[in-house]
C-alpha cells in the first residue's frame, strides 16, 4: 500500500511546539511502515494550505497516516482530516468534527455530561473579569481549553482560593487568549485508557502515572508540562500498567471509557484520560483522538504490556482504517528482490478479499491465542545424492511445531477434542485426545513417511524437558499429523528426524507466522497450487467476554477446478490457464486442521468446534475424496487439568461456555479455516521439486480480476 505520513515537524523546543513531532518520531513511524512492506512518502503539512494540498496529491497515497497536530488556531487538529475528506483520500484516525470537539475541552465535557457521565464541575473563561461561580469548591484547576500535551499546566495551575484564582486566570489568559477551563480539582489517580479499534476487545490495559510529591516538591499529583518533557522532573514520574485499582474501581473506569466511545466515534486509535477520585468515582478529563505514538507514551506502554511491538500497533491502526475504507494492499509484481530472495506475497485480506464477518486477531494467526507458539524447520535442497542409487534428487519437506501452552503442558494438560471427516490419513495421538479430551504434548506436523521419526523426536524432546516422564509418571503419546508431499519431495531421502523436530520447537514463537511453502508445508499442494501452511484468527465477544479462536492448517488437498474464493468458483477460469503437466493427477491429498481458542470449553464442545472446520473446507471447494484424509484437532487454553491431583477430594472444576452461547465460536472456526487455507495458497511463491516438477503460485492479479468481474455481474442484476 502507498502510505503518506502527514505530520508537523517540531523545529523548536518550546511549549508552543510541544505537540508536534520530532524527526526521530517521524523516522520511527516511517521505519515501521517500511517493515510492514508499505511504500512510504513523508509530507510535512505545515505552511500554506495550497502547498500542502499539492504535496499530498503528488504523493498519490492509498492511505494517509495522519499524525498532524496543526500549528494555528483552536481548530488546528481538525483542519487536516477535513482537508483529506475534501480531497477524497482515506486517512487514519478521527474526522474533523471529532478532532475539533475534543480539542475544545469544555465542549467535550459538556457532551459527556449530557450523557449522564461524571465530569469535573467547571466553566469556560474567556475574559479576565469574568465572574467565578460561588458554588465551585476549591481547590480549582485552571488550564488552557484548546491545548494538548499539558501545555500551560504547572503546579500553580491549582488554586486554593478566589484571590489566587483571579490572579491565575489573568496570567493564563495572556498566554492562552482562546480560553481557559476552570474546574474543581479531582483528588486521586491519573489514569489513561488507550484504545485500538482492531485489537481484541478494543481497550488496552490501563496506565497510571504516579508521582513522588516529596521529590517533586509538589502538593498535587498532576501530570504537568515539565513532567512530559525531557527534564529532571520527568524522571520522577512513575508508570504502572495495568494501573493499581481495586476490581470495583477498574470496572467503573472501563465502563466509563466504553460509554464514552459508544457515542464518540473515534476510529482506529485513541486514549481517554480519567481522574479516579479517592472515593472511587471516575471522572472524564479528555479524549485524545491523536494520542502520542512515542514508545514511552501511554498507548505504547499499554501495547507492550499485551505483547505488541511498535510496528504491531501501527499495523493495527492501518488494519482498522483499511477496513473502514474497504481498501487493501496492492499486489506486488515482483516475486524476488534484487538479491534473489523471496519477498512477501500479499494474503487475500491484504488484497482486500475478506472472509466472514468477525474481526481477526492482531496477527491473524493461531498465535493470537495467548500462549500458543508456532515454529518451522524447512528443508529445500537440490542435487541430493541417493544412497545406492545413481543420480541426484530434490528434498521439499520440513516440520512445523505448535506449542499449545506457554506453561507446562505435560503437568497441566489442556482440554481438547477432535474430528475425522475422512480417515485416509493419520494423526498419531488423536484417539487418546478424543478419549480423554486432554492434550499433553506439542502438536507436530510433517510428511507421511516421517511420522515415526517425528514421533520419536517429540519423545526425546519431552524426556529431556520432563525427566519424570515414564519414571515417576505415566508415558505420553505425542500428537503428530501428516500429509503426503511425495509429488515434490523425494521421500526416499526427504524424511524428517529428531533433530528437525528439535529445531522446529526451538524456532517456535508467538506473533506473525510464516505461511505458504514452509515447514511441514514446504512440498504441499492445495488445489493444484503450491502452499501448505496457512493460519488465521478471529475475535468474538460472548456476554461481554472477548475470546480469540485461531486455526493453523497443513493443507495438501483439492482440485483447481473446485477452488472457491469469496463465494465464487474462480477455479473454473484458473483451470484453463494452468497446464495439466503442473498437477498431481493420481492423488487428491489431505489436510490437517489445528484449532486453538482461549474460550473455556469442554471436550465435547471442542469435538463440535473441530467438526465446524470441515465446513470451512467445503467453502474452499473440498469434497473430501475417498482417498483423502481430513483430520481436525481442537484445544482450549482456558482450563488446565493437573497430571497430579493436589486436591484430596479428587475433584476438578472447569469453566465452560453454555451451548446456548457457543454459535459465534462455530462461525469463527469456519471463517478461520477458510481463510487459513487461502493464506497457504496466496503466500507461496510456487515450488519446484523432484524430477523437474513444479507447482505454480496462484495468479493473484487474475483472482482479483475474476472476483471483480463477478461483483460487476451481481451489481448489474
Q: What is the DSSP string of 188-220?
A: EEEEEEEEETTSTTSBPPPEEEEE-HHHHT-SS
Which has the closest alpha carbon to 552: 639, 629, 633, 466?
633
Distance between CA atoms of 40 and 61, rounded to whole angstroms?
Answer: 9
Active-site residue identified among 514, 630, 671, 674: 630
Active-site residue identified among 320, 590, 613, 622: 590
First to last CA, the chain: 32
Residue linked to cell 506439542: 442
Contact between 424 and 590 (Cβ < 8 Å): yes
Active-site residue identified among 298, 405, 537, 628: 628
Cβ within 8 Å of residue 8, ≥6 positions away: 20, 21, 44, 45, 46, 68, 69, 70, 71
Distance between CA atoms of 21 and 294, rounded to whole angstroms?
Answer: 9
Which alpha helices (DSSP H) does 507-602 contain, by range? Answer: 571-577
Sort 223 into a burial class: Cβ within 10 Å, 0-12 / 13-18 / 19+: middle
Residue-wise burial string across 563-579, b where 16 or more C-beta atoms lie within 10 A, e elsewhere: bbbbebbbbebbbeebe
Residue linked to cell 481547590: 139
DSSP state for residue 565 in the 8-state scheme: B
630 is catalytic: yes
Q: What is the DSSP string of 302-340?
A: HHHHTT--HHHHHHHHHHHHHHHHT--PPPPS-SB-TTS
3-state secondary structure of 53: helix
628 is catalytic: yes
Within 13 Å, how many C-alpha atoms sit on residue 686's CB side? Answer: 14
Distance between CA atoms of 519 and 516, rounded to whole angstroms?
Answer: 9
Question: Rounded to 5 degrees, what angle do the CA atoms 404, 407, 408 make?
Answer: 95
604 is catalytic: no
Q: What share of the chain is helix, strand, coil (3-state, %, to 5)?
A: 35, 25, 40
Q: What is the DSSP string of 655-686?
A: ----GGG-HHHHHHHHHHHHHHHHHHHHT---
How does strand 158-159 pair with strand 140-144?
antiparallel
Contact between 443 and 462 (Cβ < 8 Å): no
Q: Please identify every residue annotated as catalytic.
A: 590, 628, 630
Amino acid at each position: 500500500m502507498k502510505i503518506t505520513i502527514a505530520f508537523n515537524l517540531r523545529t523548536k523546543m518550546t511549549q508552543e511546539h510541544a505537540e508536534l513531532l520530532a524527526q526521530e518520531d517521524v523516522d520511527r513511524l516511517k521505519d515501521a511502515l517500511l517493515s510492514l512492506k508499505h511504500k512510504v512518502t513523508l509530507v510535512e503539512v505545515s505552511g500554506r494550505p495550497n502547498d500542502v494540498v499539492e504535496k499530498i496529491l503528488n504523493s498519490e497515497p492509498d492511505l494517509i497516516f495522519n499524525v498532524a497536530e496543526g500549528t494555528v488556531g483552536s481548530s488546528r487538529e481538525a483542519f487536516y482530516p477535513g482537508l483529506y475528506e475534501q480531497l477524497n483520500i482515506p486517512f487514519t484516525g478521527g474526522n474533523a468534527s471529532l478532532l475539533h470537539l475534543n480539542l475544545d475541552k469544555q465542549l467535550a465535557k459538556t457532551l459527556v455530561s449530557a450523557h449522564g457521565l461524571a465530569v469535573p464541575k467547571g466553566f469556560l473563561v474567556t475574559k479576565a473579569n469574568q465572574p467565578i461561580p460561588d458554588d465551585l469548591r476549591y481547590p480549582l484547576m485552571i488550564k488552557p481549553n484548546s491545548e494538548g500535551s499539558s501545555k500551560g499546566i504547572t503546579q500553580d495551575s491549582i488554586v486554593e482560593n478566589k484571590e489566587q484564582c483571579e490572579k491565575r486566570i489573568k496570567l493564563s489568559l495572556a498566554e492562552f487568549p482562546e480560553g481557559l477551563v476552570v474546574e474543581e480539582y479531582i483528588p486521586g489517580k491519573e489514569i489513561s485508557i488507550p484504545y485500538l479499534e482492531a485489537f481484541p476487545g478494543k481497550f488496552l490495559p490501563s496506565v497510571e502515572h504516579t508521582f513522588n510529591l516529596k521529590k517533586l516538591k509538589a502538593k498535587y499529583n498532576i501530570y504537568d508540562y515539565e513532567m512530559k518533557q525531557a527534564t529532571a522532573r520527568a524522571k520522577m514520574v512513575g508508570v504502572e500498567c495495568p494501573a493499581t485499582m481495586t476490581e470495583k474501581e477498574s470496572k467503573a473506569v472501563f465502563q466509563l471509557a466504553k460509554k464514552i466511545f459508544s457515542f464518540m466515534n473515534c476510529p482506529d486509535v485513541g486514549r481517554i484520560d480519567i481522574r479516579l477520585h479517592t472515593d472511587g468515582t471516575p471522572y472524564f478529563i479528555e479524549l485524545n483522538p491523536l494520542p502520542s505514538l512515542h514508545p514511552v507514551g501511554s498507548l505504547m506502554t499499554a501495547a507492550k504490556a499485551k505483547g505488541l511491538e511498535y510496528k504491531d500497533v501501527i499495523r493495527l491502526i492501518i488494519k482498522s482504517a483499511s477496513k473502514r475504507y474497504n481498501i487493501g494492499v496492492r499486489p506486488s509484481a515482483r516475486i524476488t528482490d534484487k538479491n534473489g530472495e523471496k519477498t512477501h506475497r500479499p494474503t487475500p485480506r491484504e488484497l482486500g478479499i475478506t472472509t466472514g464477518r468477525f474481526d481477526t486477531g492482531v496477527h491473524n494467526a493461531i498465535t493470537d491465542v495467548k500462549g500458543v507458539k508456532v515454529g518451522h524447520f524447512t528443508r529445500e535442497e537440490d542435487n541430493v545424492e541417493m544412497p545406492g542409487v545413481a543420480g541426484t534428487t530434490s528434498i521439499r519437506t520440513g516440520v512445523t511445531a505448535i506449542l499449545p501452552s506457554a506453561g507446562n503442558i505435560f503437568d497441566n494438560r489442556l482440554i481438547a477434542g477432535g474430528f475425522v471427516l475422512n480417515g485416509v490419513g493419520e494423526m498419531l495421538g488423536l484417539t487418546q485426545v478424543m478419549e480423554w479430551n486432554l492434550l499433553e504434548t506439542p502438536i507436530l506436523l510433517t510428511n507421511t513417511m516421517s511420522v515415526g521419526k517425528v514421533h520419536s523426536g517429540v519423545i526425546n524432546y519431552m524426556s529431556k524437558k520432563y525427566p519424570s516422564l515414564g519414571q515417576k509418571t505415566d508415558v505420553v503419546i505425542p500428537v503428530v499429523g501428516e500429509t503426503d508431499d511425495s509429488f515434490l519431495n523425494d521421500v526416499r531421502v526427504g524424511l524428517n528426524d529428531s533433530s528437525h523436530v528439535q529445531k522446529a520447537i526451538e524456532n517456535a514463537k508467538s506473533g506473525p507466522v510464516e505461511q505458504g511453502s514452509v515447514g511441514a508445508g514446504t512440498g504441499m499442494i492445495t488445489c493444484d497450487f503450491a502452499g501448505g501452511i496457512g493460519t488465521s484468527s478471529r475475535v468474538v465477544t460472548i456476554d461481554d467476554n472477548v475470546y480469540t479462536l485461531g486455526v493453523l492448517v497443513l493443507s495438501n488437498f483439492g482440485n483447481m477446478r473446485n477452488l472457491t474464493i469469496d463465494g465464487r468458483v474462480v477455479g473454473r477460469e484458473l483451470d484453463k490457464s494452468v497446464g495439466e503437466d503442473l498437477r498431481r493427477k493420481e492423488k487428491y491429498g489431505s489436510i490437517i486442521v489445528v484449532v486453538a481458542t482461549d474460550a473455556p470449553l469442554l471436550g465435547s464442545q471442542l469435538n463440535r468446534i473441530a467438526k465446524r472446520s470441515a465446513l470451512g473446507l467445503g467453502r474452499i471447494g473440498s469434497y473430501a475424496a475417498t482417498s483423502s484424509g481430513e483430520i481436525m484437532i481442537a484445544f482450549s487454553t482456558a482450563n488446565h487439568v493437573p497430571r497430579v491431583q493436589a486436591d484430596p477430594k479428587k475433584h476438578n472444576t472447569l469453566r465452560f461456555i453454555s451451548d446456548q452461547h457457543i454459535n459465534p465460536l462455530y462461525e469463527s472456526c469456519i471463517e478461520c479455516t477458510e481463510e487459513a487455507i487461502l493464506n497457504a495458497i496466496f503466500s507461496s511463491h510456487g515450488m519446484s521439486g523432484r524430477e523437474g516438477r513444479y507447482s505454480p503460485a496462484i495468479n493473484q492479479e487474475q483472482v482479483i480480476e475474476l472476483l471483480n468481474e463477478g461483483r460487476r455481474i451481481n451489481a448489474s442484476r
